A and B are shown apart, each in its own frame.
Chain A
């Protein structure tokens, strides 16, 4: 081969090899995305809590701003968006065994698993937003995706308040008892007034963790 050609040729080949190996590496990158899946469960949903929140956003646009002071400002745009949030209170039955049922004389005591909550839906009412909002000529009435996400976060935060959580957990327990006592009475043949339902007492009903899948799990008492 020509002496003058061999160097550039090997250089090009080298570059090609590096480029293809880089491409191959890129293809092998593992996607960092949650696994969407089908999951078996044995849960009893006993309560549904319907929350309502009205989101108000005011936006102003000023022009020719110097050090935070606008020399001219446009009229304010006000968006009003009602949001419905639905939370479900449930009890997981996957670990219920014979140990959960205890005979105490002629009485029957059933120990219920811990309640959990799940935010099942956050529904903004777009139709109402269209009617109630004051839009301006320079900007339409829509929320951007980021804003909608922020609204979702705000709605979730407003539910993760101690008193609200406690109320929901207590109601879930009450409802579970009222659903299960007749069922236990029917199945065991013991009259309802002799059946009691008890709960795990070391659960802290005012402190909970919101998981990525919108499930709210109560923490144990410290």
Chain B
């Protein structure tokens, strides 16, 4: 428990949880209740995806599910659905860990674009199938486009603010696995 790598693992998890709480907190502030002119980016999703691509071991599925489920319940979304889609998206990115290991950033961005598109379409489709009232698909797509546009900024902020980067080739954990 005392070795630096395990310590950093838990520090990473703690930092992710802290950032998630901060994003939720800022969104809860009652500053302006009138509907905005353009769709706000889903910062929490951008942070989560960036984190999974870089340090998948620091954002275990249970943590992601807990964070997104609380958001689902708090922000009046259909409970469980968006969480499920995010879980699937992060598992997909996690399983591509080998190939994306040293993916250049533009390709990573394209991959994220695909994931966002698929997630938005899946959510709209499922809501439509279950006859849940939902936002028009154009607005949802615009929203994910804005999320995609802030993704590089989120990555840069995580890198320079919290030192989040991919594991170096030589890094191993206590039992010799690459994290």
A binds B: no
Identify the B interface with A (CB < 8 A). none
Identify the A interface with B (CB < 8 A). none
